[in-house]
Structure 1
Amino acid sequence: MRKSRKIRFASLGSGSQGNATLVSCGSTHVLIDCGFAMKETTRRLQRLGLEPEQLTAVLITHEHTDHIAGAGALVRRYQLPLYTSSGTNNSGRIKGEIPDWRGINPEAAFAINDLEICPVTVPHDAREPIQFVISDGANRLGVLTDLGSITPHVLRHFSGCQALVLEANHDPVLLARGPYPASLKQRVGGDFGHLSNQQAADFLTQIDTKHLTHLVASHLSEQNNQPYLACTRLAEAINTTPDWVALADQAEGFGWRDIQA
């Protein structure tokens, strides 16, 4: 794989209403998840200066609607390869014909042009959920959302990244007091649900963060969390200030951030 000078990454939006993360290196543009309808995906891509036809591929972490809602329509319209685990594909949740499906072995890294993709198995209530560490040969970006607990496997793969997009889904007190029914509260807070602010912070204390130049709190619950709580907890874990921690929100995601060697 040819080394490039930098990875760029941005978010189209992050939360229970839709998720999509854009990673670019040179002329390679990979969309991780597509939880928005195609028209809205197009609008959000254009906000970041990219047209859908410029995408190189779409990668899916798992089959929940907020990650796949627009995936089928997007890859059909623009004849894009769609990468998923076999479990995600076999779930039948991605509707319609997929013109170019490419299976991901969760234990095997692979290349998409200028990017090396390392899939990582995570504990989440889906068929075969994965998250990703992405490299240009010099720098590593970790995208880690939608998991209910931290495993040694996750720690090993995400340690030493230069950038992390990290789930901080809920504050346990707000979740307990919030409007969700008891069964949903149990699911969200369980080992196969979503990371709390404290779990995300604990994760940061267990990995090598000395090379970390970007940290983005993502997949925040609008009902069960507050941006200040999430950013404060993550900042404490790496001994920085809350304003250093960026936020991926539902409406705007976040703009381009560069990782340079």
Structure 2
Amino acid sequence: MSLFISALASGSNGNCYYVGNQHEAVLVDAGISCKEIEMRMSRLQLSLQKVKALFISHEHTDHIKGVANLSKKYRIPVYITPDTLRNGRLFLEKELIKDFRPSGVTSIGNLTITAFPKWHDAADPCSFMVSTNGVNVGVFTDIGTTCPQLIHHFRQCHAAFLEANYDDHMLDTGGYPYYLKHRIRGEKGHLSNKQALELFTTYRPAYMSHLVLSHISKNNNCPKLVNELFSTHAAGVKIIVASRYEETKVYAIQHEVLREKTSLPKGIQFPQLEFAFA
């Protein structure tokens, strides 16, 4: 069974990541408006009716802006830790709040979502890995350091959304005040291009097929620079740079044994779909 993935939005102006199979899907974060999520998914011919859960990584606005409206309109359960809910000041319908801890496994249909703590300046931040039938997709953004748990899960991914937030030189020479530069590059800030590349080149599994570089800074990074840097070291992995302005294509992540079975189930069509074989 495939996992279909897309970065609907990625950046400090909003983050939302889609992962699903043929029958159900989850969104990790909803940091753009409900209307914008609807528009972007519609362009990709992805159905919100298949979204069975929202998983919230932390309470910063660029990750929760659209949560309340989206959850209410489509009756989507929100998996969120108590501290994140409290600090995000989200007003969610009680029956749609699903309490969980950033260290455990949740089943949504045939999807398994594994959460684990991450280093970031938020109340109770966590990263996620979404799996089905042995295919694993990681959502790893807003991370200050590559901790052992991140490395452990990254080494199992067939595809991953991985933060490459800033270029060291651009941050050093840019106009941000010192305290903000210190916060960005701190242990609870964001991953630099250099840190993300080191994680990728050192710990990627042989079967990784796609890497979606995410949460790229508007002022301290450059999509072209990121693409060139990682493409040089791709070694067969398809490199995608997620945009802060529009959705990516939909990519289907599959085991190599399914290489000959590239047709979609009857009635499912993704005109922007690209297949990946792990």
Q: Specify the alignment match of 2:162 in structure 1.
A: 166
Describe the shift of the 1:93–1:176 C-alpha distance in structure 2 as closer, same or farther (beyond 3 A): farther
Q: Does 1:116 align with 2:101?
A: no
Q: Specify the alignment match of 1:128 in structure 2.
A: 124
Q: Does 1:259 align with 2:268?
A: no
Q: Specify the alignment match of 2:182 in structure 1.
A: 186
Q: Specify the alignment match of 1:175 in structure 2.
A: 171
Q: 1:204 aligns with which of 175, 200, 205?
A: 200
Q: Does 1:91 align with 2:90?
A: no
Q: Specify the alignment match of 2:15 in structure 1.
A: 19
Q: Specify the alignment match of 2:217 in structure 1.
A: 221
Deviation at 1:181, TM superposition (A): 1.9
State the number of aligned residues: 255
Deviation at 1:98, TM superposition (A): 4.6
TM-score (norm 1): 0.92
TM-score (norm 2): 0.87
Alpha-carbon distance in structure 1 between the residues aligned to 2:156 and 2:48: 32
Worse overlay, 154-163 or 188-197? 154-163
CA contact (8 A) 2:40 2:247 kept: no
Q: 1:78 aligns with which of 74, 83, 86?
A: 74
CA contact (8 A) 2:184 2:190 kept: yes
Deviation at 1:169, TM superposition (A): 0.4
What secondary structure sits across from 2:249 in the alignment? strand
CA contact (8 A) 2:20 2:26 kept: yes
Q: Percent identity?
A: 35
Letter in 2 for 1:169: N
Q: Can you give the 5+ residue segments of structure 2 that lack an aligned partner in the other structure? A: 256-278
Describe the shift of the 1:238–1:53 C-alpha distance in structure 2 as closer, same or farther (beyond 3 A): closer
Q: Deviations over 1:45-102 (max 9, x none)?
A: 2112134344211111111100000101111122110011232122143235454111
Q: Can you give the 5+ residue segments of structure 1 that lack an aligned partner in the other structure? A: none
CA contact (8 A) 1:209 1:238 kept: no
Alpha-carbon distance in structure 2 between the residues aligned to 1:74 and 1:81: 10
Alpha-carbon distance in structure 2 between the residues aligned to 1:183 and 1:153: 28
CA contact (8 A) 2:226 2:241 kept: no
Q: 1:67 aligns with which of 41, 63, 67?
A: 63
Alpha-carbon distance in structure 2 between the residues aligned to 1:98 and 1:142: 28
Worse overlay, 95-104 or 187-196? 95-104
CA contact (8 A) 1:22 1:31 kept: yes
Alpha-carbon distance in structure 2 between the residues aligned to 1:90 and 1:119: 19
CA contact (8 A) 1:18 1:66 kept: yes
Q: Does 1:250 align with 2:250?
A: no
Letter in 2 for 1:141: V
Deviation at 1:205, TM superposition (A): 3.0
Describe the shift of the 1:96–1:83 C-alpha distance in structure 2 as closer, same or farther (beyond 3 A): closer
Describe the shift of the 1:198–1:98 C-alpha distance in structure 2 as closer, same or farther (beyond 3 A): farther
Letter in 1 for 2:141: T
Alpha-carbon distance in structure 1 between the residues aligned to 2:188 and 2:251: 30
